[in-house]
Amino acid sequence: MNLKIMGVINVTPNSFSDGGETYSPESIQNKLTTYSTFDAIDIGAESTAPMNASVPWEVEWERWKVVLPLISKMKTTLSVDTYHPETIFKMVKFWQDQKLSQPLIWNDVSGKFDDYVKEFLKSGHDYVFCHNLAPTRELSGSHMEYVSYQMDLKSYFLPHVHPQVIFDPCLGFSKSFEQNWQILDGFSSLQEQVPHQRWLLGFSRKSFLKKKYQTQDREKLDQVHLSEVKRVLQDAKGEVWIRTHRPELLSHG
């Protein structure tokens, strides 16, 4: 198993996991420096937590403008957490204009493998395809209104096997409490059902962790997340990305 570690930075005032933390250029630069030794840095400028309203891509891009001068100096892979095609294509153009050579990932929670995705793949960059049952990109953040109690991840992922695609069961999205744990408990089985070498698991500080462990304390949540990651990865295969707010714990653990 090839473990890849992806650190998370949110540049949004209402993030579910770390909302309220400042995102000044100085604080972002500190995190970018701290995370520079990991495999990728995932940056998001819109919260997709169900309690938050969606924002237009123009608002999202304004938040990204704080980060652009900083990421142009990065050597680490950048993962762009957005469901807005306009945002990712502006980022691709920025990559081209700046002649940046480091890899770029589109981390798209929409669950829509549409023409935008096919066009993006032509750029040669990687794409994270998430399991989200919201019917449109615009409703991506309303995913908890679209929970199916006959979840079929095999049929969902199989048509989209592609060397540039990373599959993400998208824990916490369009899933009941029980379904999130079923996916984690059966992750190695899912890998056998879907013969694909590249996967991502992102459940750091998710609400179903808080519910199971009866805590809102971030330090405890980060520790139980580390424990659960170790358990899930015992039988994992291929390339597995772990998206986490505390990447240093995984690198030390």
The pLDDT tens digits for 187-218 are: 999 999 999 999 999 999 999 999 999 999 99
Specify whether the CB–CB gap between 23 and 224 falls below 8 A: no
pLDDT at 54: 76
pLDDT value at residue 251: 81
Q: Which tens digits make up the pLDDT trace of 149-183?
A: 899 999 999 999 999 999 999 999 999 999 999 99
Per-residue pLDDT at 123: 96
User: What tens digit of pLDDT does each residue of 4-53 get?
Assistant: 999 999 887 644 445 445 567 788 888 899 999 999 999 998 876 655 56
Among the four given CATH numbers 3.20.20.20, 3.30.559.30, 3.40.190.10, 3.40.50.2000, the one describing domain 2-252: 3.20.20.20
- Average pLDDT taken over every residue of the chain: 92
pLDDT band at 107 (very low <50, low <70, confident <90, very high): very high
- 2 close to 239: Cβ distance less than 8 angstroms: yes
Average pLDDT over residues 116-120: 98
Position 75, amino acid:
K
Per residue in 223-233, pLDDT (tens digit) is 999 999 999 99
* Strands 2-10, 239-244: pairing kind: parallel
Where residue 66 falls among pLDDT bands split at 50, 70, 90?
confident
pLDDT at site 46: 84
Name the DSSP class of 139: G
Average pLDDT over residues 62-74: 89
Q: pTM higher than 0.85, yes or no?
A: yes
